[in-house]
Structure 1
């Protein structure tokens, strides 16, 4: 029996945004109070109440230490003034579509226009809209009421009139009202402010109802958009309105072939999914019961086994679409492939082999034909569910695989049983992606079991929390100053990086990330990077860990001491200049000063006369004060050395020339005449 869930069912953008703001405030450790119920859904309101969220009917009722959250319906302008006067912290979750209506009515009523609002005068959204009007405002729910306003206040026909609507107003009623208003008011301006999501939800409800024998509308009974969906669907086919899945058991669904499901904008995804699963289960059980009753009525006297009996059988044969099983009776037992496994791609020979002993449950007995159909899949599901019930009581951790990502969470299977894990319980952080869990093995605890519906709700987060707690205890029992850890960077702030040490986060201050000056930790590391860090300091009382990352061998001053003694000539880069000289980078993290008197062997007025930022020059290290971390550099020393060297070279060259000249003169001198004896 097909069940179709409307694609537009459930939270709209504005409601989801409001609920997310509440959870974000809770996650930040804030006391939270909402101005009225955050949404028109008792189950969600109760869940938030259990988490400590309080509800204030008026601003003055809100606790002074709480963050007051304005719901998506919005409020009148005076409420903001009351909040400011009370000095309360506030988070505004007003739906952007509603806020736009506030802006429209405020601007036009200020200019003298009369405001007509299509909607329920008792609804908070409509009351908020009226609270932004600065002149006459009239509310109507039907075209007839609009006509009544026109008759009772005829002077409106001569004034500029603005027509808006509640975001969840019935589209067809709005269209009729617009046509009537056009006939009455000559100076009329129309703003179609029905939320596009609401319009699509109503249009899909009509389309789905026309194709269904039964429509199920899910949502709070005080929710305006839910009641409008119920009215729309009721005019087309049989329709029931429920808040939770358990209410389905009060109805008889016999004879229904096609069932459609839609939900109001305040209905959480997990409730919609519960309704879908419960409805499928009810209809499937009805079908099974009809088949079983027929067989029982036909062959009651001949049966030697019964439906639902648990049996043990031996596999005697394997075919492509079924296996044969001997259960020790006169019947020929068989298990169809779809009753052997949930996997449609699996082959029987990959699951069992001849001679295997397997546990089964009897599904249907046919003594006339001498056959009995059995199911391993259903037996495993029953046994698995029994284990789940035990786990719910004992707190045992179960192992499973995530097989599906659904609206509001994920589905994990364990022992043939599907367990729903809400999104809030599926990951360690609400920002983690559910898609990353798909087809991954997971460990989880059972939070709730509903045996009558064979439904279980689990939590992966509970296991992660316990594992982290165990790691935290282990960490604190072993931690000591100087101990080295390898941890992944979890987050970055302007003042440092937080590193996961295994159950405990430690912080590497920005000054500990690099020997050089950096403006932000992202210059050294990114989220997800694995760093080798060491414990620098421990605050056991406040559970805070300070980490070190810089290594002594990377200290630029140690490198300078080793590789750049006084007298070293090196190339440096000009990084800044002052009136008394220029600072130059010798190596990353180490700058030295070239005093203005050491820039040139000639007098200069300012460093810029010779140097510029970024220029590379050769200098001589003339002094290092490691205690004060000061280095003196000189370009002049090199210039003078070069000049002395040049003079010495010139003198040497002159001397060489004189020697060569003298030698040549000696060689050309005439020999003295010989003396006669």
Structure 2
């Protein structure tokens, strides 16, 4: 338990050997007693002739070798600061070293501080294990002997409060934000846009029909969204993600004029015709009367899902989002060319 001063004599990957000031004993400091970082390398931590403050863990008078610790010295030194922070409510900083079922362990000035999972993140459904490896701010809520407990979300909540106030003071319809996807539901994605979680409805995620938001985004994604509407009184924000320039109907109008012929896959069959995928998000109808020059009694006798067919765009109703296609028109033109 005694604190000693020592000078590094030699360094190996697993330990370093030191000469203890005022003693004939040699000291050994293992890598695990030099740093809590599992990825640390001894040669990066110390070099020959470095002066160190260490705590004696174990003595061996017969061999004249003592086992020493740097991390325990730092813990003793840091314990005083942690104890004072617990009394004063001072915000401390540390690195999250590990996670377990109960929460996370944070190294604060060499002191192991336990943060319960309920105090680790602001949201219950947030994955607290992702904090491992992060540098965090926290307050010490309990310091009794070896039981030292802290809270990360008390600091986060204060920071979030300031962010929320700034958001509501400056928000406006159409304003763009870079947000982080925090959770997914069957009806949309909740995105943190600065201390406030806005809902991006499933219909606002993609121009295509999707069954679940996970087809477009996942938790943790950083995405650019814009404000569609907001309600300060109820603290609600509606967000949009899909961009107007990606609107397939705009693309259709600009790139595929009426009269264009092209090949496309059949995506569904009905009694009155077949729907053909013109581009992602847009299907057009080939009416049963426009499939062939010969009479077709049953669409499924002629076409099946997955068939690639040649069609002509004959009409578009942009207001009703309806498109008419014809296979027969392509056949008529081919027959006319053959006749010539």
User: Structure 1-normalised TM-score?
Assistant: 0.40
Alignment of 1:109-148 (within 5 A): none
Identify the residue that residue 205 of structure 2 maps to in structure 1: 513
The size of the alignment, in residue pairs, is 315
For residue 534 of structure 1, report the CA deviation from its aligned partner.
Answer: 1.5
Identify the residue that residue 217 of structure 2 maps to in structure 1: 525
1:323 paired with 2:15, answer: no
Q: Choose the corresponding residue for 1:601, options 293, 303, 311.
A: 293
1:496 paired with 2:220, answer: no
Identify the residue that residue 642 of structure 1 maps to in structure 2: 334
Q: Choose the corresponding residue for 2:263, options 557, 571, 590.
A: 571
Identify the residue that residue 198 of structure 1 maps to in structure 2: none
1:417 paired with 2:114, answer: no
Identify the residue that residue 350 of structure 1 maps to in structure 2: 46
Q: Choose the corresponding residue for 1:442, options 121, 133, 136.
A: 136
CA contact (8 A) 1:399 1:443 kept: yes
State how far apart, in whole Å, the 2-side matches of 1:488 and 1:607 are: 47
SS in 1 for 2:238: strand
CA contact (8 A) 1:335 1:376 kept: no
Alignment of 1:183-332 (within 5 A): 320-324=17-21
Tell me the alpha carbon deviations over residues 621-641 of structure 1, each in whole angstroms, 9 at most, x when there is no partner: 222222232222222323333
SS in 2 for 1:502: coil
State how far apart, in whole Å, the 2-side matches of 1:528 and 1:433 are: 10
Q: Choose the corresponding residue for 2:88, options 357, 380, 394.
A: 394
Please list every run of 5 or more consecutive structure 2 residues that lacks an aligned counterpart in the other structure: 10-16, 36-40, 57-67
Tell me the alpha carbon deviations over residues 148-170 of structure 1, each in whole angstroms, 9 at most, x when there is no partner: xxxxxxxxxxxxxxxxxxxxxxx
State how far apart, in whole Å, the 1-side matches of 2:298 and 2:329 are: 18
Identify the structure with bigger relative contact order (alpha carbons < 8 Å, sequence gap 6+): 2
State how far apart, in whole Å, the 2-side matches of 1:580 and 1:537 are: 40
State how far apart, in whole Å, the 2-side matches of 1:456 and 1:565 are: 71
Identify the residue that residue 178 of structure 2 maps to in structure 1: 486
Q: Choose the corresponding residue for 1:472, options 154, 158, 164.
A: 164
State how far apart, in whole Å, the 1-side matches of 2:127 and 2:294 are: 68
Identify the residue that residue 38 of structure 2 maps to in structure 1: none
Alignment of 1:94-173 (within 5 A): none
State how far apart, in whole Å, the 2-side matches of 1:619 and 1:493 are: 39
Tell me the alpha carbon deviations over residues 300-336 of structure 1, each in whole angstroms, 9 at most, x when there is no partner: xxxxxxxx9x9xx9x69655334326xxxxxx79996
Please list every run of 5 or more consecutive structure 1 residues that lacks an aligned counterpart in the other structure: 1-287, 289-307, 326-331, 363-373, 650-677
CA contact (8 A) 2:93 2:137 kept: yes
Identify the residue that residue 155 of structure 2 maps to in structure 1: 463
CA contact (8 A) 1:592 1:632 kept: yes
State how far apart, in whole Å, the 1-side matches of 2:101 and 2:307 are: 61
Identify the residue that residue 218 of structure 1 maps to in structure 2: none
CA contact (8 A) 2:119 2:153 kept: yes
State how far apart, in whole Å, the 1-side matches of 2:305 and 2:337 are: 30
CA contact (8 A) 1:318 1:324 kept: no
Tell me the alpha carbon deviations over residues 453-506 of structure 1, each in whole angstroms, 9 at most, x when there is no partner: 364321223223333333333333333222222333222211112222232222
Tell me the alpha carbon deviations over residues 162-203 of structure 1, each in whole angstroms, 9 at most, x when there is no partner: xxxxxxxxxxxxxxxxxxxxxxxxxxxxxxxxxxxxxxxxxx
CA contact (8 A) 2:97 2:133 kept: yes
CA contact (8 A) 1:595 1:633 kept: yes
For residue 434 of structure 1, report the CA deviation from its aligned partner.
Answer: 6.5
State how far apart, in whole Å, the 1-side matches of 2:297 and 2:232 are: 58
575 and 396 in structure 1: CA distance in 2 versus 1, 3 angstrom threshold:
same
Identify the residue that residue 63 of structure 2 maps to in structure 1: none
State how far apart, in whole Å, the 1-side matches of 2:47 and 2:161 are: 39
Tell me the alpha carbon deviations over residues 579-599 of structure 1, each in whole angstroms, 9 at most, x when there is no partner: 443332222222223333322
Q: Which of structures 1 and 2 has the bigger CA Rg? A: 1
State how far apart, in whole Å, the 2-side matches of 1:643 and 1:602 are: 14
Higher strand share: 2
Identify the residue that residue 62 of structure 2 maps to in structure 1: none
State how far apart, in whole Å, the 1-side matches of 2:283 and 2:277 are: 4
SS in 1 for 2:220: coil
SS in 2 for 1:541: coil
For residue 508 of structure 1, report the CA deviation from its aligned partner.
Answer: 1.5
